[in-house]
Homo-oligomer: A and B are copies of this chain.
Amino acid sequence: MPANHRRDIMTLIKVAIAGFGGVGRAVASLLLARRDQYRRVYGVDCRLVAVCGSQSGLFDSDGLDTGRFNRLEPGLTGPDFIVKSGADILIEAGPSDFRTGGPGLAYLWAALSAGRDCIVISKGALVHSGLDLRALTQSSGAMLKLSGAAAAALPTLDLIEHSLKGCKVLAVEGILNATTNYLLDAMINRGLGFDEALREAQTGGFAEADPRNDTEGWDTASKLLLIANFGLDAGLVMDDLLVEGIQSISQSRVEGWREARMVPKLVGSLVRMDGGWQAGVGIRTYPLTDPLAHVSGKNKAIRITTDAMGDTIAIGSGTEPLATAAAALKDLEHILIARAIHSV
C-alpha cells in the first residue's frame, strides 16, 4: 500500500505559534488547512504542537486543532514553554514594539539559541535587535524568515533575494503603510484636514486610537529597516533614518499638490551611496502616469532599482489577517524546501 508506505517515511515537523491574536489565529487556521498540501508536496507532517498568548496557551504533542483555540489554558506561555514544546519551528506573531523589542524578542532569542527556525510576523524585535538576532542564527544554524514582518503579502525581501538575484540594488522606495494611504487620500481627494481625516479613519477602524506609529512614519521606517538590514545587509539602526510623517501637512501643500496633479505618498526610501545607504521616510509625490500614484487604500508597493534590471515594481493587496498568515506560511515552505534539500 503506497499510501501507508508514504506515511511511514513522512518527516514530522512540529510548529509553535507565540502571539495568538487575530494574526496568530489566522496562521494557525491556515496551517491546519494546508496540512494535506504539505504532506502531498513535501512528504512532511506539519503538526501544530503549541500556541500561546501573553497569559495562556495550549500544548499537545499529538497536534492541536481549531476546535480547541477558544479554550486556552492559563500559564501555558513564555519562551520556556515554547522551547519545551519541542517545536522545530516557531512562528512569532505577538504585539510589536520597536522601542523595547516587545515580547517577541525573548521568544525569538530563546528559540534561535536552541537552534529552532523562526518565522517572524511582528516587527518590534527585528527592528530593535535584528542584527543581534541575525548573528545568533549564524552561530546556531537556525533559519530566520520575516516576510510577514517586512510587508506581509507584498513581496519585498523575495524580490531582492530571489527575483533580482545577482543584480546590484541601487535604490528602494516603498509605500508600506495603509493608514497614511487612507489619510492622504481623504485629504487630497475629499478635501478633509488631517485631524478630520484621522477621526474618520479611527471611527472606521482604519487608524488606531494612538495613530502616531503610523502617521509619524515609524511603521514605514520599521519595515524599511527590515528590508535594508535583512535584504541588503545595510547594518542600519533606527537613528540612521530621517523620519518624517504626515501629521504636519499644511492645507496649502495639499492644494499645491492638487493643482499640480501630483499624488503624495508616505514613502520609505533607500539610496546606495559611497560606502553605505541613505535612508529615510517622508512624503514623495508622483505624477498620475506613475503606477505608484495609484497605490491607495490598503495596498502597498515597492520599487527597486538595480544596475542590470532597471526598475521593478511590486504592488500587493491582500486582505488581513489572511494575507499576513499566508506570507508567514510562505516562509514555512521555504524552510521546508531548504531543510528537505539538506536531508537528501
Q: Which single residue of chain B is at the shortest CB-CB distance from A168?
A: B37
Residues on B with C-beta less than 8 A from A317 are 310-312
Please report the C-alpha to C-alpha distance between residue A323 and residue B310 in the assembled complex, in whole angstroms.
Answer: 7
Q: Is A273 an interface residue (CB 8 A)?
A: no
Interface hits, A300-326 → B, CB 8 Å: 306, 308-319, 322-323, 325-326
The answer to whether A308 and B291 have CB atoms under 8 Å apart is: no
A34 at the interface (CB under 8 A from B): yes
Question: CB-CB < 8 A to A341: which residues of B?
Answer: 338, 341-342
> Given A163-B159, A294-B291, are A316 and B309 also a contact pair (CB < 8 Å)?
yes
The answer on a CB contact under 8 Å between B155 and A163 is yes
Q: Does A167 contact B (CB under 8 A)?
A: yes
Are the C-beta atoms of A308 and B294 separated by less than 8 Å? no
Question: Quick check: is A330 within 8 A (CB to CB) of the other chain?
Answer: yes
Query: Are A295 and B291 touching (Cβ within 8 A)?
Result: yes
Q: CB-CB < 8 A to A167: which residues of B?
A: 326, 330
Establish whether residues B308 and A316, one from each chain, have CB atoms under 8 Å apart when the complex forms: no
Contact B330 A163 (CB under 8 A): yes
Is A279 in the interface zone, CB < 8 Å from B?
no
Pick from A326, A333, A338 the residue with the most CB of B within 10 Å: A326
Interface residues on A, range: 35 or more
Measured between beta carbons, the chain B residues less than 8 angstroms from A322 are 308
Question: Nearest-CB distance from A96 to chain B (Å)?
Answer: 21
| Contacts known (A30-B308, A312-B314); A163 close to B166, Cβ less than 8 A | no
Q: Once the chains bind, are B318 and A315 in contact (CB under 8 Å)?
A: no
Q: Distance (Å) between the CB of A190 and the closest chain B CB?
A: 15
B166 touches A158 (CB 8 A): no
Does A164 sit within 8 A of B, measured CB to CB? Answer: yes
Q: Please tell me if A290 contacts chain B, counting CB pairs below 8 Å.
A: yes
A318 CB contacts on chain B under 8 angstroms: 308-310
A330 to chain B, nearest CB (A): 4
A290 to B317, CA, bound (A): 13
Shortest Cβ distance from residue A293 to the other chain B in the assembled complex, whole angstroms: 8
Residues 277-306 (chain A) with a chain B CB within 8 angstroms: 288-295, 306
CA distance A129 to B327 in the complex (A): 34
Given the interface pairs A162-B163, A166-B333, the reply to whether A153 lies near B310 with Cβ below 8 Å is yes
CB atoms of B165 and A163 under 8 A apart: no
Could you tell me the distance between the alpha carbons of A153 and B163 in the complex, rounded to whole angstroms?
A: 9
Closest to A322 in B: B308
Residues of chain B with a CB closer than 8 A to A342's CB? 341, 344
Q: Taking the nearest CB of chain B, how far is it from the CB of A290, in angstroms?
A: 7
B312–A326 contact, CB under 8 A?
no
Measured CA separation A268–B148 after assembly (Å): 30
On whether the beta carbons of A37 and B310 are closer than 8 Å, the reply is no
Q: Which 9 A-B pairs have the closest CB atoms?
A: A308-B326, A155-B163, A291-B291, A310-B318, A313-B315, A153-B309, A158-B163, A309-B318, A165-B330
A167-B330, A309-B327, A314-B315 given; name 5 further pairs at CB < 8 Å: A153-B309, A155-B159, A155-B312, A163-B163, A342-B344
